């Protein structure tokens, strides 16, 4: 692969509310050694990101956190699967195939008889399948992200080794004069188009610049290269938090199967946190034709589906 999955290391979160401070203090006390969260004052934070604004004189630095290019990550994951198949063949293991087909699917019944198992991992689009209409407890939310560049008449570039910024608006830094600013939240939207009309782009930019300037005032010196959008599949709120939706869904097809149809969605706006771990658990569940490998909290949504 001739491209990097990791765009930048390190994320800095300036606290903008007492709720932020309480949550991040708790996280800092209970974080893993491999993912440290360091509390720091305004001056230390400004040393990391010159020009940063720290409204409440406290910020939280995650030096091991990564800013990941999600498309490159998924492409690399598919490549890793291809390599795994090739290695198994070289070891004399029974032949395996990995094929990629791109086609439109209007109903799960189109897979009847063709596959031993089907995993529906369409994000927010899963709710558009007729079998899932009104069943999946997803909260759809459209978000717009702006790709920004520093205007030519400004020399104050974003420092090469400074972390990205996470706040009410986030700043994902790509280079000294290149960053992404996100994201808006349009709840209950059904618009999954990546294209952003001029009016929507203008409104999104105004909102994002207002939020972004609270913690990084210099963002006003940057201009838009393009705006892109997507539709999030947000999971329902539960006493355990907002948890992804997994499980066997044979009942939605109206036919008797032995755990043939599965759903894997509701990972939310930060789905890469869950992706690899839950993907492994889902694979185990599909191969064993049992939900036992899936944490019970991720199956609670099915109880409401039966009511």
Read off the pLDDT of residues 94-129 as tens digits, 9 standing for 90 and up.
Answer: 777 888 888 888 888 888 777 889 999 998 889 889
Domains of the chain by start residue, with CATH? 103-138+238-306 (no CATH), 139-234 (3.30.9.10)
CA 243 → CA 31, 139, 289, 300, distances in Å? 19, 12, 22, 10
For the cut 80, the answer to whether the pLDDT of residue 277 exceeds it is: yes
* Pick from 135-139, 146-150, 194-198, 273-277: least confident: 273-277
Q: Tell me, what's the pLDDT at 157?
A: 93
Dist. CA 82–CA 86, nearest whole Å: 6
Q: Tell me, what's the pLDDT at 90?
A: 82
Average pLDDT over residues 37-46: 96
CA 56 → CA 59, 212, 249, distances in Å? 8, 16, 47
Contact 62, 11 (CB under 8 A): yes
Average pLDDT over residues 287-303: 91
Distance of CA 143 to the CA centre of its chain: 12
Average pLDDT over residues 29-34: 84
Q: Which contiguous run of DSSP H or E holds residue 85?
A: helix 70-90
Buried b (16+ CB within 10 A) or exposed e, 47-82: ebbeebbbeeebbbbbeebbbebeeebeeeeeeeee
Tens of pLDDT, residue by residue over 44-57, are: 999 999 999 999 99
Q: Tell me, what's the pLDDT at 305?
A: 64
The percent of the chain in helix, strand and coil, each rounded to the nearest 5, is: 35, 25, 40
């Amino acid at each position: 692969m001739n491209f990097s999955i990791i765009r930048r290391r390190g994320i800095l979160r300036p606290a903008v509310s007492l709720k932020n401070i309480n949550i991040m203090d708790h996280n800092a006390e209970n974080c893993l050694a491999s993912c440290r969260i360091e509390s720091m004052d305004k001056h230390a934070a400004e040393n990391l990101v010159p020009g940063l604004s720290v409204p409440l004189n406290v910020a939280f630095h995650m030096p091991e956190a990564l800013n990941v290019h999600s498309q490159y990550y998924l492409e690399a994951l598919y490549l890793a699967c291809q390599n795994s198949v090739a290695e198994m063949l070289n070891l004399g293991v029974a032949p395996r195939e990995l094929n990629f087909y791109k086609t439109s699917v209007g109903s799960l019944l189109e897979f009847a008889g063709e596959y031993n198992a089907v995993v529906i991992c369409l994000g927010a689009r899963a709710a558009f399948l007729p079998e899932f209409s009104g069943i999946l407890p997803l909260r759809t939310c459209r978000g717009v992200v702006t790709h920004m560049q520093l205007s030519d008449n400004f020399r104050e570039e974003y420092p090469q080794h400074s972390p990205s910024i996470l706040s009410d608006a986030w700043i994902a830094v790509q280079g000294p004069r290149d960053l992404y600013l996100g994201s808006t939240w349009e709840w209950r939207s059904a618009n999954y188009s990546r294209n952003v009309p001029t009016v929507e782009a203008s409104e999104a930019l105004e909102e994002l610049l207002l939020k972004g300037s609270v913690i990084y005032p210099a963002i006003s010196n940057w201009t838009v290269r393009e705006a892109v959008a997507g539709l999030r599949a947000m999971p329902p709120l539960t006493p355990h938090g907002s948890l992804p939706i997994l499980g066997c869904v044979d009942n939605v097809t109206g036919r008797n199967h032995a755990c043939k149809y599965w759903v894997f969605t509701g990972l939310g706006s930060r789905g890469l946190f869950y992706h690899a771990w839950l993907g492994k658990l889902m694979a185990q569940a599909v191969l064993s034709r049992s939900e036992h490998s899936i944490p019970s909290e991720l199956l609670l949504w099915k109880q409401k589906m039966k009511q």
